[in-house]
A and B are shown apart, each in its own frame.
Chain A
Amino acid sequence: MDLNLSDEQRLLRESAERFVAESYDADHRRKTANDPLGFSPAVWKQFAELGWLALPIPEEFDGLGGGPVEIGILMEAFGRGLVSEPYVATIVLGAALIDRCGSTAQKQASLPKIADGSLKLAFAHSERAARFDLAKVATIANKTAQGWHLSGSKIAVLDGHAADEIIVSAHLHDHQGPSGRIGLFLVPATAQGLAISDYPRLGGGRACNVELSDVQLAEDALLGDGKDALPAIEWAVDRAMAALGAEAVGIMQTLLDTTLDYTKIRKQFGRPLSANQVIRHRLADMAIQVDEARSMALRAALKADQPPVERARAASAAKAKIGKCARFVGEQSIQLHGGMGVTEELEVGAYFKRLVAFDTLFGGSAHHYGRHAQLSRTTQPA
């Protein structure tokens, strides 16, 4: 039992924090906020040079072989700077799915390019009717003599507009009809019949909806050998929730620091706000919740490779608890900033919006307490 950072992990944290403090300041955020791309290709290149894109990719595919804890360290620093680069879409979800489901040839074709920054991905899975049920997929992939035909609608695809290839989930149908299995397809952004409508995402970056109208793909566009991809999807989403949880911790810590500073400076009734016990106790509660969130994000990362039920319970526990903490810390940060907190003139609102987006992504607290409760009554592997 040891939860102290290793030397390598400490170095990673220091370099990530330094990068965010030096390069990812309010000025940078303002410039990218109105950018139609939603992030900076130059920063993405820097990520590649720093080795962050290679971080979780296996060494045999030019990666560094890091795990969820290292991703969490990076994501917490990203949260502090409200980083909007497509890291979760490309690395945490995309690279992980290819690594887990892809054939050796598919991994060889993609992973080194992801690591060097020349390939960006997105994961199109959610559908309107499914809400947060990962098993519910209406998009269909029909097997043809030449390959596959995909049709369906996907929503809330993170960074899909910037992706070179989109990983699309679909139910596999062959000449006998539905197979009951979900497959994952690598769809080039330029594919005929693929329509992307993107929009600015709450809290920074962009997302999109994707329409697939009889998109024709080669046989090898299907990742792996066609076995059901649902367990892999659940695995990847659990990892993404752990990573996003760590990012939320960074966001909350920044909000706490900012709010604390403000209550020391802002004077009313002839004394700083922080001289009032009601304010000090509120800040103490915020500090406690940031700390609890930090514990839960780390826990989910450390359990990301455990058997499915244990992993999923830890991921849902983290998502539910951190979501609850995030809402509290975010809302109270605005409250303690008074009227200014509700304006775009301070950055508090931007950080808050990213927390609201976090809470919504892959399902909010109520959904995940419910999933946790269900999993608690599950004895066999999910």
Chain B
Amino acid sequence: MDLSFNAEERAFQSEVRGFIAKNLTEEMKRATALTPSVFSDPDIGMAWQRALHKQGWGAPGWPVDHSGPSWTPAQRWIFESECARAGVPNVNVMGVKMVGPVIIGFGSPEQKNFYLPRILSGEDYWCQGYSEPGSGSDLSSLRTRAVRDGDDYIINGTKIWTTHAHHANRMFALVRTSDGPRQQDGISFILIDMKTPGITTRPILTIGGDHEVNQVFFDDVRVPVANRVGDEGKGWTYGKYLLEFERGSGIASAKLREGLRAITELAESDLTGRAIDSPDIASRISEVEVDIDALEMTELRVLSALQTGQNPGAVSSILKLRNSEIRQAVTRLGVDVIGHDALAVEPMRPLYKLNHEPALPADMLTVVPEYLNGRAYTIFGGTSEIQRDIIAKMMLGI
């Protein structure tokens, strides 16, 4: 056993650091630090995606014959960790990490040829049409309907919590194409051009004051049958395959550590009257840091298993659950650390384009919004309750 990286892995690490030093602009860094929502706005995120793509690193998880860099699990971990440490933009995952693998796995040759290069280059910007007002955790009860009409489907219904729908030019969606005894069997996976007539988008503001998610309405929206991925009625299988990616990218500890580092820096600063000098705050920082240590170690154990071709199993649900809980602990700690300044609300967005002097120090601008928006971490991508169901079923057999 060895916790340290070998010479080859260290060489890769300095290659990544070199790349980041050369391509991460001050503007990207500042914008990322001042973004209290999950993903960077497209102007920032896609600039980074283009730089990655130019380097051949646009899609680390994709197979080599689709331009993936064929990294080992350890290399992927190093890459993600270095990115988190440096504070690179949080590229919206809907394209590269979510719809990409589905198209690679189940798409037609035409779909692969058309969509994949456009995902890599950032030419297309994707959003995900899964949840509906009546279908949250019970996703397979979804009712947005696609009715066959010649070579088209006609889609009616609504999707909600659609991240960056207001920026996206494409959506991948789960729609109902038939009603059967098992509701999962009537679902298809379909790719929709957001400019198609009949689609409207309504913004939803989160409690942190950010516009990240939307509700999308479909009113007789005509989509070619050729835009269906795989077989009709098999969408649930593809959708679940994708959710595995959403939960199980499995590399979160470095980002959490970076978040805690920022909070600790505030606690050590005169701006907070040195909150760290309170033994309670100091102990809680340690408590969160130790939770991150445990998560990181579990990530590395999973990665070691993957390196030798073993299947880590339901542990990806543990990683998702703990990542979300620890993230909330970090942001909660942040609110306590900034003390009085937690009272000040700065409503303007984006914060990195702020054109006036804010009421609180700039380093604290995202603290409360991140805490508030952060409540969503234990809800999206399968709530903590759903994760516990999965752990009980898959790990404990009950």
Say whether A320 faces chain B, with CB atoms less than 8 Å apart.
yes
Measured between alpha carbons, how far is A161 from B303 in the docked complex, in Å?
Answer: 45
Residues B392 and A302 in contact, CB atoms below 8 Å apart: no
- In the bound complex, do residue B297 and residue A283 qualify as a contact, i.e. CB atoms below 8 Å apart? no
Residue of A9, A263, A281 most packed against chain B (CB within 10 A): A281
Inter-chain CA distance A298–B2, complex, in Å, is 11
Q: Considering the complex, give the chain B residue whose CB is closest to the CB of A317.
A: B290
Smallest distance from the beta carbon of B208 to chain A beta carbons, Å? 28
Beyond A369-B290, A373-B279, whether A287 also contacts B395 by CB under 8 A is yes
CA gap between A280 and B276 in the complex, in Å? 39
With both chains docked as a complex, state the minimum distance between the C-beta of B293 and any C-beta of chain A, in angstroms.
5
In the bound complex, how far is the Cα of B93 from the Cα of A334, in angstroms? 43
> Judging by beta carbons under 8 Å apart, are A295 and B388 in contact?
no
Known A5-B1, A284-B387; further 11 A-B contacts with Cβ < 8 A: A1-B3, A1-B300, A2-B1, A281-B385, A288-B318, A288-B322, A292-B295, A292-B298, A320-B290, A373-B285, A376-B285
The contact sample of 21 A-B pairs, CB cut-off 8 A, is A2-B2, A2-B304, A4-B304, A5-B1, A260-B396, A280-B389, A281-B385, A283-B396, A284-B391, A287-B391, A288-B322, A291-B315, A292-B298, A295-B295, A295-B298, A295-B301, A296-B290, A299-B294, A317-B293, A320-B287, A321-B294
Within 8 A of B (CB), among A251-270: 260, 263-264
Does B355 interact with chain A (Cβ within 8 Å)? no
Question: Assuming the A-B contacts A4-B305, A280-B388, A285-B388, are A264 and B289 also in contact, with contact meaning beta carbons closer than 8 angstroms in the complex?
Answer: no
C-beta contact mask, B380-398 vs A, less than 8 Å → 1, else 0? 0000010111011001101
Report the separation of the CA atoms of residues A6 and B1 in the bound assembly, to the nearest whole angstrom.
7
Q: Return chain B residues, CB-CB under 8 Å to A280.
A: 388-389, 392, 396, 398
**A290: min CB distance to chain B, Å:** 10
Contact of B396 among A3, A287, A317, A320 (CB under 8 A): A287
- The CA-CA distance from A375 to B322 in the complex, in Å, is 25
Cα–Cα distance between A24 and B278 once the two chains are bound (Å): 48
Q: Which residue of A lies closest to B301 (CB)?
A: A3
Interface SS, B side: helix
Q: Which range contains the number of B residues in contact with the other chain?
A: 35 or more
Q: Which of B4, B283, B290, B308 contacts A1 (CB 8 A)?
A: B4
The docked-state distance in angstroms from the alpha carbon of A5 to that of B2 is: 10
Q: Which residues of B contact A370 (CB under 8 A)?
A: 279, 282-283, 286
Q: Across the interface, which residues of B come within 8 angstroms of A299, CB to CB?
A: 3, 293-294, 297
> Any chain B CB within 8 A of the CB of A69?
yes
Determine the chain A residues whose CB is within 8 A of the CB of B289 once the complex forms: 317, 372, 376
Asked whether B5 is an interface residue with its Cβ less than 8 Å from the other chain, the reply is yes
Encoded as 1 (CB less than 8 Å from any B CB) or 0, chain A from 110 to 144 comes to 00000000000000000000000000000000000
A346 within 8 A of B: no
Measured in the bound complex, the distance between the Cα atoms of B5 and A337 in whole Å is 44
B179 within 8 A of A: no
A369 adjacent to B286 (CB under 8 Å): yes
A282-309 vs B, CB cutoff 8 Å, 1 = contact: the mask equals 0111011001100110110011000000
* A291 adjacent to B6 (CB under 8 Å): no
Instruction: Please give, as numbers and ranges, the residues of chain B lying within 8 Å of A263 by CB-CB distance.
Output: 398
Q: Mark B1-34, 1 if CB is under 8 A from A, else 0.
A: 1111110010000000000000000000000000
Contact A303 B3 (CB under 8 A): yes
B20: min CB distance to chain A, Å: 20
- Tell me whether B74 is interfacial, beta carbon within 8 Å: yes
Asked if A366 lies at the interface with its beta carbon under 8 angstroms from chain B, I say: yes
A277 at the interface (CB under 8 A from B): yes
Interface centre among A277, A287, A303 (most CB of B within 10 A): A287
Which residue of B6, B322, B385 contacts A292 across the interface (Cβ within 8 Å)?
B322
Q: How far is the CA of A376 from the CA of B261 in the complex (A)?
A: 12
A3 touches B392 (CB 8 A): no
Which B-chain residue is minimally distant from A276 (CB atoms)?
Answer: B398
Q: Top 6 nearest A-B pairs by Cβ distance?
A: A295-B297, A280-B392, A3-B304, A373-B282, A284-B391, A284-B388
The reply on B321 being an interface residue by CB < 8 A is yes
Are the CB atoms of A260 and B283 closer together than 8 Å? no
Asked whether A281 lies within 8 Å of B396 as measured between CB atoms, the reply is no
A274 at the interface (CB under 8 A from B): yes
| Binary CB contact string for chain B from 245 to 288 against chain A (1 if under 8 A, 0 otherwise) | 00000000000000000000000000000001001001101110
The chain A residue sitting closest to B305, CB to CB, is A4
C-alpha spacing A346/B300, complex, angstroms? 37
Point out the residues of chain B lying under 8 angstroms from A1, CB to CB.
Answer: 2-6, 9, 74, 77, 300, 303-304
Give CA–CA (A69, B279) in the complex, Å.
33
Residues of A within 8 Å of B5, CB to CB, are: 1
- In angstroms, Cα B86 to Cα A298, docked, is 28
